[in-house]
């Protein structure tokens, strides 16, 4: 899966670096490997509205406290909750622990809105998984947003 991400970025001429590591499941795991010292590591959540008709991939700074009730109101989705593993696979083609903005490479229907925390704006080195949790991919925030937009997904940048 990560090779698909690397191939896409290479074909698009987007600069990036990769840190290979043991699989990580939490921000604490990433901190233990020293990844938080290498750049702005992001956490990612996949959520849906109450009716299951709208899906959102949330990308925020690893220190951001996310209140789902407030977030649902902020993004105009009302009540939101975490999406199931089945929805994660269906829309982003990844499993739990591997959620990443690069999941939209698998969202052929452009059904997922990607929501970025505005604190990431201007970051020169953000770290996200390349759809696998055994590596962290580093690139600028602007390039990350450009990738998502180029794939046709809606992008929101807001305070989370």
- Residues 64, 135, 39, 42, Cα dihedral to 10°: -20
Q: What is the pLDDT of residue 96?
A: 85
Residue 21 has pLDDT above 90, yes or no: yes
Is the pTM higher than 0.75?
Answer: yes
Q: Domains in the chain, ordered, with CATH?
A: 2-158 (3.90.960.10)
Using DSSP's 3-state secondary structure scheme, residue 60 falls into strand
Helices (H) and strands (E) in the chain, counts: 5, 8
Using DSSP's 3-state secondary structure scheme, residue 88 falls into helix
Per the CB < 8 A criterion, the answer to whether 124 and 136 are in contact is no
The residue that leads in pLDDT, 91 or 35, is: 91
Task: Express each pLDDT in 55-96 by its tens digit.
Answer: 999 999 999 999 999 999 999 999 999 999 999 999 999 998
Task: Express each pLDDT in 122-137 by its tens digit.
Answer: 999 999 999 999 999 9
Q: What is the pLDDT of residue 30?
A: 86
Pairing type for strands 40-49 and 80-82 reads antiparallel
């Amino acid at each position: 899966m990560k090779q698909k991400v690397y191939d896409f970025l290479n074909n698009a001429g987007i600069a990036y670096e990769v840190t290979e590591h043991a699989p990580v499941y939490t921000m604490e795991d990433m901190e233990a490997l020293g990844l938080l010292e290498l750049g702005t590591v992001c956490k990612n959540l996949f959520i849906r509205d109450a009716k299951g008709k709208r899906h959102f991939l949330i990308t925020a700074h690893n220190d951001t406290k996310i209140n789902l009730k407030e977030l649902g109101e902020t993004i105009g989705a009302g009540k939101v909750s975490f999406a199931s593993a089945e929805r994660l696979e269906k829309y982003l083609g990844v499993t739990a622990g591997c959620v990443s903005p690069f999941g939209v490479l698998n969202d052929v229907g452009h059904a997922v809105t990607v929501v970025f925390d505005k604190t990431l704006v201007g970051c020169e080195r953000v770290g996200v998984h390349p759809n696998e949790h055994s590596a962290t991919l580093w690139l600028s925030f602007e390039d990350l947003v450009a990738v998502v937009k180029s794939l046709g997904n809606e992008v929101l940048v807001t305070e989370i």
